Amino acid sequence: MEKLSPLEEFNRPKKNAQPCVMVIFGATGDLNARKLMPALYNLEQDGELPVHFACVGFARRPKTNEQFRTEMFEKVKEFSRTKPINEQVWDQFSNQLFYHQSEFHEDEGYERLKKLLHDLDAKFDTQGNRVYYLSTQPSYFSIIIQKLSEHGLISPYHENADQHFTRVIIEKPFGHDLASAEALQEDVTKYLDENQIYRIDHYLGKETVQNLMTLRFSNPIFESLWNNHHIDQVQISVSEEQGIGTRGAFWEEAGMLRDIVQNHMMQLLSIVAMEPPNSLDANAIRNEKVKVMQSVRPLPKTHLDKSVVRGQYDTGFIEGFEVPAYRSEPNVSPTSNVETYVAMELHIDNWRWAGVPFYLRAGKRLPKRITEIAIVFKQVPNYLFSNNNEFPNTLVIRIQPNEGISLKMNCKVPGMTHLQPVKMDFRYGSYFGGTPPEAYERLICDCLSGDNTLFARYDELLASWKLLTPVLKHWEENPPEAFPNYHSGTWGPKAADAILHREGRKWRLL
């Protein structure tokens, strides 16, 4: 068999998932129903789950194994990327699916879990290996890990792959500011080695994000231009049509900066801006991402409001239907100052990116759902073509929907003397056929294989919180004067446009 190149190996689906039992804490929650269980089913269908595998849903509501399996079948039918459901595959998978009822702080429940896991080891030959997925409110993270350790359910970390392993997947957010992130890290590392902690950010599992390194480091045409000599600006946009839905209580504690910017957008920024790693080893890649975050210029405290803009949506129209203001959503205070929109300008003070602004924006109730990274190249001297400066070359990496890459360049209009931009467009679905694996499929598979490349390391998160915690503190001390400040169905507050206008730039039309 022909040997794969390192980059082909990096992008190849993993086939070496190890025997284990996965325990999902918060198994009756929305994340498990919409993402985790469909991901596990699709991994089973694609032959990516280990042969010796079982899954236990851990939650507080009383439920039998059969009730849980029936509920999960309905959710997989609704949310799986592959339809219709292959009932033969489901029957095989559901026989490995169990339910365990307990409070998260209840010692007796962990003792019963210990016995159940011992029985599953004997039945499925899972060899004492454990993956714990914490799909709960962040306030439960520390107590769950503590109880697992106290009841002998966490094995020590060993570099030797033949030893029993314990891996813990922790959902975002990891802390709500710098101090809480440091406290949570101190709590979990009492019981776990850093190599056992898999902090999940589903954006890192998306096909286009994974392909960013391939795009840059295997294509000299791009890597040779990937610097401040040729790039004028970078724009990263996360636009959502939806409001907060039923997540009012969560959103009142989080807001857009914590929920999207601190994790998803900082990860995208670091991958776009990182230097070539010396290998495709997980730590080599994450080392370069950390260097980027440590090079981001601290936001200026004296005029922070000019560099960072917050917004909150008012009433408006989405696809012709009137939608409520944020303050009228369920479980939201009628005087809430929580932001549903953030825009900011960042600078990376290193040799490659000196002088190149990075513009970030993320918002709810905007006109369309789209996440993209736009690399806007510098313009040529305007000697030959009078309207050349209107259409800068732009490389766009579309993360969702319709994952793909496009390049905008200039051509002369036939029979005319002026220029018009044209677009070369590549879409994953059109070229490769079918639908790419969901992000959670790739990330769960990587965890089962012991590959933590696409999971956030603590020093990455620490650098992100150091950058953004002063913004949160400033907002707490200076409540907004005019919330809500943008109508649903528009592109956000006017102040966000001013961030770019003062430098003669503007946001891309998405």
Active site members: 264
Dihedral sign, Cα of residue 168, residue 173, residue 179, residue 180:
negative
Cβ(291)–Cβ(464) under 8 Å?
no
Q: Give the number of other Cβ atoms within 10 Å of residue 135's Cβ.
A: 23
Cis-peptide, bond into residue 421, ω within 30° of zero: no
Buried b (16+ CB within 10 A) or exposed e, 238-255: bbbbebbeebbeebbebb
3-state SS record for 438-459: CHHHHHHHHHHHCCCCCCECHH
One-letter amino acid for residue 121 of the chain: D
Buried b (16+ CB within 10 A) or exposed e, 449-465: ebbbebbbbbebbbbbb
Question: Phi and psi dihedrals of 106, rounded to 5?
Answer: -90, 115
Residue with tokens 């598979």, as numbered in its chain: 445
Residue with tokens 């490769």, as numbered in its chain: 432
Cβ(492)–Cβ(343) under 8 Å?
yes
Cβ(376)–Cβ(507) under 8 Å?
no
DSSP line for 68-80: HHHHHHHHHHHH-
Tokens of 459: 């020093």
Dihedral sign, Cα of residue 398, residue 400, residue 404, residue 406:
negative
- Residue 506 to residues 50, 230, 333, 390, 437: CA-CA distances in angstroms? 50, 18, 34, 11, 34
Q: Which residues pair with 250 in a beta bridge?
A: none
